[in-house]
Amino acid sequence: MLQKRTFVMPAMSLLGPGVLADAGPEIVGLGLKKALVVSDQPLASLGLVKKITDMLDANGIAYAVFDKVMPNPTCKCVEDGTALYRAEGCDFIVSLGGGSPQDAAKAIGILAANGGDIRDYEGIHKSKLRTPHIIAFNTTAGTASEVTINYVITDETRHIKMVMVDKNCLATLAVSDPELMVKKPADLTAATGMDALTHAVEAYLSIGAFELSDTLAYEAISLIAKYLKRAVDDGTDMEARSGMAWASFVAGMSFNNAGLGYVHSMAHQLGGQYDLPHGVCNAVLLPHVERFNAPAVKEKLAKMAGALGVDTTGLSVDEASAAALDAIAALSVSVGIPDGLAKLGVKKEDIPLMAANAMEDVCKGTNPRPVTVEDTIAIYEAAM
């Protein structure tokens, strides 16, 4: 019997090589006049911002460019972007990038529509009004921020990452063109790919999981196991890039509706404390957190082993679930992710504070096993 469900995703998504060119007519059809293009300096230096502005020029759409987004965007970054949006008289936002520009664009949109300080919107569905239209161009196969209702902003005064879950920040149009991903370096491909894997695994194991979210998550895990190392080893491999773009997209749709888990709660603290890459933090923590969760989700972990390429013939549920975690750790190492938090500069003396802050993170709510501060400290220490 069909149960009552809500499934949220952008009104339209364009997927596949070359779809960048298809976005212009869609923007024109929405009657939009002037964009704030939100991106970062690395993408500007790669010529990707110009690809977007050339497309806007070709369709007679005016724009201003805000390319000052940094990794782990801060409240100040959001304030500056919002000020430029208003000063330039923009009526919509074009976001170009991975998680950082996408999250900054969502935050700018929330402030443009609702006013106030971005700190006012920390938590779940705090805004009253939808953002102006956001046209989101994805350049990494990882965060899936272009299709989700989540965004994360660093409060630089408290050294924490604020997690916002808000249906009002959802993009109108999401564009995932793997041709925009070709020039990305191997280490970024690895980090964002492991971020996508974390999204899929946490959604699959979430207490909010259901039939459709499971199908999407399992598909994403299978694709990442098949294509991530290929994309890292050869960034021009368009089959691998396309496979990873699709994996990121379906993982995003899964966790957007099923929720995440405690890997993200703990990773957010590492990002807030040390300004570390989010995907790398997720990758290091993922096998340790799921080892803690295993008693509550052993059967699902065992099933997931097959998606990760493990031959489970003759294995017990315990053995298959353990093999799944080993496969995750092996994939992470194979694409060059450090195998411990100590190698990222994490200090043992900071763990108690990060553990306490992780307990307040919204992603904890759908973790499959209850967790305490003491558990959190033990997981951080095991991951060192």
DSSP for 75-98?
HHHHHHHHHHHHHTT--EEEEEES
- What is the residue extent of each domain of the chain? 12-180, 186-383
DSSP type of residue 129: S
> CATH topology of 12-180 equal to that of 186-383?
no
Residue 186: Cβ-neighbour burial (10 angstroms; 0-12, 13-18, 19+): middle
Q: Indicate whether this model's pTM tops 0.85.
A: yes
Tell me the C-alpha distance between 324 and 364, whole Å: 22
Tell me the C-alpha distance between 229 and 89, whole Å: 44
Q: Which stretches of the chain score pLDDT less than 70?
A: 1-2
Looking at residue 350, its pLDDT comes to: 96
Q: Which amino acid is at 246?
A: W
- Quick one: three-class SS letters along 167-198? HHHCCCEEEECHHHCCCCCHHHHHHHHHHHHH
CATH class of 186-383: mainly alpha
Looking at residue 159, its pLDDT comes to: 85
Tell me the C-alpha distance between 299 and 235, whole Å: 35
Looking at residue 1, its pLDDT comes to: 56
Give the CA distances from residue 65 to residues 89, 152, 338, in Å, rounded to whole numbers and listed in that order: 12, 21, 35
Looking at residue 131, its pLDDT comes to: 97
Strands (E), the chain: 12-15, 34-38, 62-66, 92-97, 123-124, 134-138, 150-155, 160-165, 173-176
Tell me the C-alpha distance between 354 and 344, whole Å: 15
Nearest CA among 63, 161, 85 for reference residue 118: 161
Which CATH code, of 3.40.50.800, 3.40.50.2300, 3.40.50.1970, 3.40.50.360, is assigned to 12-180? 3.40.50.1970
